[in-house]
Structure 1
């Protein structure tokens, strides 16, 4: 299959590292999309398991899926940036190799963006465990600004889409955690607001070793974002960090 309508092509950015347990669920959720004008760029970051063989099996069935190999393990930020660089779509969407989209995710979100002339959108999402068991829902905000994003991240990476035609190609920064968060901040310096769809459109898988479970490490990364990436003053960093801690306690409770 080939994409004839580049104008509304969605480039799906998927970093993959030892993802054999979940990558099939992720790819199938893309193949099941009711919106079919997409390319899926999977960047394998030097996996040592059978995930690349699984991915190649899907490539044989659908040429919209592409697999690129990194020369050395560089982490999800570098993998995503490589995929963004070679992407051909107007829209950049993100989907990690252990997460899942609902079938109407792309159709709903692209229509929402087109109908309202929006540059950057996201949605609520379900929380699941390693076995796919339901853990609840993350209900996102209807909109968020740059200063609002400094207080708390309301954008789940697996739901984010931005329009390169309106704001250009933008990349993630940093070699530590929260790289997707730095991208959201960068986008929100170019647009006044990001807008959220209240309906959950994806499923975020919480792994036992995931960063979201390591509150102390996540807090350290957050502080580095304020000071090293955004270069906020000590006073502003402390102010927003207190806000971040408050919202962090509430976020998944």
Structure 2
């Protein structure tokens, strides 16, 4: 039986593993939202620290926060997909357990999506250190096409929101890295464009041990996506890869 989707509600998808140090800030940024019609679904992937205790303290005070415990270690992709299954919001948004939002993120983004009649959107965001020191700001284009996205992944997962009533529930492919990028490419081919809200509404925490910290591995993954996931020719793959590499180098300066 299909779960009934609740109009205007936002289901926030948060996988969590050993996030005791950051999860409180993440939850607080959701609680502070000026838009109140949301649920925060947190998948505890068998954390060994006190992450669950932090979540439970918050959930006792606000029933919109739900902690779901995995019976075995499932990883980020399966964790997100399980939460998407559970979600009953018209809108699906993503917020990892070490990231956080501006207080008006949901309100502004939903208003923006309704004005644009958008199936999917993203926003500008700031990359910060573990101690919340600003590194740089990631800007998005007002309209992002499939070709744009092949050149540069503008879409920070913590800023993406899609409308279930327009595209259905969309799930991540089981991949070691860049599963979000593959999903955005899949959706954009269907809806033709992603709308970018050019306002900074989120903070992405760059961790030393993050899955995206190894630049060489990230480059290999990007090439595999061009060739295997998107089926691009060697020539087209090389073209987009050079652009991707140049943009990546500029980001480090």
TM-score normalised by length of structure 2? 0.94
- Per mean C-alpha deviation after superposition, the further-off stretch among 120-129 and 67-76 is 67-76
Question: How far apart, in 2, do the equivalents of 1:242 and 1:69 lie?
Answer: 42
Counterpart secondary structure, 1:249: helix
How far is 1:175 from its partner? 2.0
CA distance in 2, matches of 1:174, 1:143: 28
Does 1:66 find its partner at 2:35? no
What is the SS of the residue equivalent to 1:238? helix
**Aligned ranges for residues 66-145 of structure 1 at < 5 Å?**
66-145=66-145
1:214 is aligned to 214
The CA deviation at 1:252 is 4.5
Any residues of structure 2 matched to 1:1-253 within 5 Å, and which? 6-253=6-253
Q: Give the whole-Å Cα distance in 1 for the aligned partners of 2:252 and 2:62.
A: 37
Moved >3 Å (runs of 4+): none
Runs of 5+ in structure 2 lacking a partner?
none
Query: How far did residue 170 of structure 1 move?
Result: 0.9
Q: Which moved further from structure 2: 218-227 or 231-240?
A: 231-240
Q: CA deviation at 1:25?
A: 0.1
RMSD: 1.4
Q: Distance in 1 between matches of 2:34 and 2:84?
A: 23
**CA offset digits 1:2-23 (Å, max 9, x no partner):** xxx9210000000101000000
Calculate the TM-score normalised by the size of structure 1.
Answer: 0.94
For these two proteins, the number of residue pairs brought into alignment is 249
Residues 211-245 of structure 1, C-alpha deviations (whole Å, 9 max, x = no match): 34311111111122122322323232222212211
**Superposition deviation, residue 163 in structure 1:** 0.4
Please tell me whether the aligned partners of residues 138 and 154 of structure 2 are also in contact (alpha carbons under 8 angstroms): no
| Gaps in structure 1 of 5+ consecutive residues | none
Is the contact made by 2:40 and 2:66 (CA closer than 8 Å) also made in structure 1?
yes
The separation in 2 between residues aligned to 1:113 and 1:29, in whole angstroms, is 21
- Determine the C-alpha separation between the residues in 2 that align with 1:91 and 1:251: 31
